[in-house]
Amino acid sequence: MTKIDTARPETVLPTPSHTVGPFYGHALPFPGGGDIAPLGHPDTVAVHGYVYDGAGRPLPDAFLELWGADPEGRLSQVDGSMRRDPAGGGFQGRNGVEFTGWGRVQTDADGHWSARTLRPGARGRSAPYLSVCVFARGLLVHLFTRIYFPEDTAAHAADPLLSRLDEARRATLVAGGGGKDPYRFDVRLQGEGETVFLEFR
């Protein structure tokens, strides 16, 4: 990018380099993006965590999308996560009844994110998990990972993905907490304890 010196329009000056974008904080987050579970649903669980860079610093402008099956392991085919007013185009919010299985959250100034969803059921040979897509500054391509639940250790042993990982790498995909406490899942983009990321072909 260049700028023109207004005192001498014939002179073009270079501008400083910028952080690699794109930046997601302006238009993509929406009210209630992390409120995936219908209001008052008995299978609602809270999931939260932090996103850290390679130096262990929290990222205040990262962005996560989450998908999950319902408690019976079925994938929702229902629309309604981002309903808009057909007349004015404004955001109407979720309807509070349908479970779409999808949410979008942004980290706050401390790099923290949180969501409320239904605890997913198992599908096929896989242990129950939430799919996560991570967007952050400096990432030219978003990253995919999963959140498994700590109570499902027996199912972890047979899971096609987890069974291929050593114990330390497997631990980066399993949330902490549970029971009466919210689940905690931190995303580490690089460095020690880097989260396992998936490549889809």
pLDDT at 35: 93
Contacts of 179 (CB under 8 A, 6+ apart): none
Mean pLDDT of 193-198: 96
Query: What are the tens digits of pLDDT across the range 106-122?
Result: 999 999 999 999 999 99
Give yes or no for a contact between 137 and 54, defined as CB atoms under 8 angstroms apart.
Answer: no
- pTM here is 0.83
Token pair 């299978």 in the structure block, residue: 43
Which whole number is the average pLDDT over 3-12?
A: 55
Q: Which helix (H) or strand (E) holds 154?
A: helix 153-158
User: Of 23, 26, 7, 4, whose CA–CA distance to 15 is shortest?
Assistant: 4
For residues 146 and 180, give the distance between their C-alpha atoms in angstroms, rounded to a whole number.
22
Residues 6+ apart with CB under 8 A from 139: 189
127 against 90, higher pLDDT: 127
- State residue 178's pLDDT score: 84
Q: How confident is the model at residue 4 (pLDDT cuts 50, 70, 90)?
A: very low
User: Would you state the pLDDT for residue 120?
Assistant: 96
Place of tokens 């860079």: 53
Average the pLDDT over each of 31-40, 64-73, 108-117 and give the range with the smallest value. Answer: 31-40
Distances (CA, A) of 130 to 15, 18, 67: 42, 34, 6
CA triplet 168, 176, 169: central angle to 5 degrees? 15
- Residue 79 structure tokens: 């629309």
The pLDDT tens digits for 142-183 are: 999 999 999 999 999 999 999 999 999 999 999 999 888 899
Instruction: Check residues 32 and 121 and name the one with the higher pLDDT.
Output: 121
Classify residue 4 as exposed, middle or buried by CB count within 10 Å of its CB (0-12, 13-18, 19+): exposed
Percent of the chain whose predicted confidence (pLDDT) is above 70: 87
With a pLDDT cut of 90, the percent of the chain lying above it is: 62
- Given this model, what pLDDT does residue 200 score? 80
Q: Please tell me the predicted confidence (pLDDT) of residue 13.
A: 56
d(CA 47, CA 130): 10
**Cα angle for residues 121, 151, 166 (degrees, 5° grid):** 100
DSSP letter string, 99-152? ---EEEEE--TTSEEEEEEEPPPPBTTBPPEEEEEEE-TT-SS-EEEEEE-GGG
Q: Contact at 8 Å (CB) between 142 and 133? A: yes
